[in-house]
Amino acid sequence: MLSKRIIPCLDVREGRTTKGIKFENNIDIGDPVKMARFYYEAGADELVFYDITASHEKRDIMIEVVKEVARTIFIPFSVGGGIRTLEDMRAVLLAGAEKVSVNSAAVKNPEIISQGAKAFGNQCVVLGMDVKHVGEKKGIASGYEIVINGGRTYMGIDALEWAKKGQALGAGEICLNSIDADGTKDGYEMTLTRLISDNVSIPVIASGGAGKPEHISEVLTRGCADAALIASMVHYGTYTINDIKNHLEQKGIKIRRNRKFSS
């Protein structure tokens, strides 16, 4: 049986990691390559890097980070943030990422999903979705709407319809981020996660709101997520990957046990 995946997420700006609370007041917490190795040894099943570098000129720094990470850890990792073209996708995959995540670029140009899937394989393309609860309204039957720009721009697209369309276009996985829950540490958006998981056949990574291990066991069972994205709850040392996996195992959830590193 497949193990449920625990995936630390590292926000990277100009080559350094940060962790934003609701996308504001980002605090610098270090070297992404060292953090990647730390989480690799700590038993993370996969890693996600989001490049939040604003200036396009400085984006090459991220490619160098990806290359160095790929020489340092031997588990899958994905890279997202600022991916706009097929060439952007190619660059991070060639640098050593296993998967590439598209978010707002896919909203503006859905064809990038199918082009990426065709060029690199479905398993390489992760559809990142930022979602806000807006209530049922015209065009938003599920009550969940796709947003971009960190939640500032409403796109008038139903999140459920977008998830189905993303799958049809060839996305291999969905990383589902609730803007409402993000940074709250109050738990994942369970209704949203369950809704999307029930309606697509590709894996769903739940994102936004993880504050304690119970939130993760909840979203992996009741939420039917295949994987859980975590950030500040481990970045600031509140919990270790082991704490989380111990809890999941107690709840009867299958997880992967990492080997101990001798040195």
Cβ count near 37 (within 10 Å): 16
Which amino acid is located at 173 in the chain?
A: E
Instruction: Give the C-alpha separation, 190 to 192, whole Å.
Output: 5
Q: Which two tokens stand for residue 170?
A: 């060839």
How is residue 9 written in tokens? 């997420």
DSSP string, 185-214: -S---HHHHHHHHHH-SS-EEEES---SHH
Stretch that binds other proteins, among 14-22, 110-118, 133-141, 197-205 (CB under 8 A): 197-205
Is residue 138 classed exposed, middle or buried when 0-12, 13-18 and 19+ CB atoms within 10 A define those classes?
exposed
Our finding on whether 26 is near other proteins (CB under 8 A) is no
Instruction: Please identify which residue in 123, 184, 191, 246 interacts with other proteins, judged by CB under 8 A.
Output: 123
Which residue from 15, 143, 151, 203 is in contact with other proteins, where contact means CB under 8 A? 203
Rule CB under 8 A: is residue 179 a binding residue for other proteins? no
Nearer to other proteins, 152 or 259 (CB): 259
In angstroms and rounded to an integer, the radius of gyration of the C-alpha atoms of the chain is 17
Catalytic annotation on 11?
yes
157 binds other proteins (CB under 8 A): no
Closest CA to 66 of 42, 26, 23, 99: 99
Q: Does 172 bind other proteins (CB under 8 A)?
A: yes
* Active-site residue (options: 45, 51, 88, 130): 130
Q: Does 202 participate in binding other proteins (rule CB under 8 A)?
A: yes
Q: Are 176 and 192 in contact (CB under 8 A)?
A: yes
**Using rule CB under 8 A, residue 143 touches other proteins:** no
> Is residue 198 annotated as a catalytic residue, yes or no?
no
Q: Does 87 bind other proteins (CB under 8 A)?
A: no
Query: In the complex, which residues of this chain contact other proteins (CB under 8 A)?
Result: 1-3, 5, 40, 45, 70-71, 74-76, 93-94, 96, 98, 121-123, 172-173, 201-203, 221, 224, 226-227, 252, 256-259, 261
- Residues marked active site are found at 11, 130
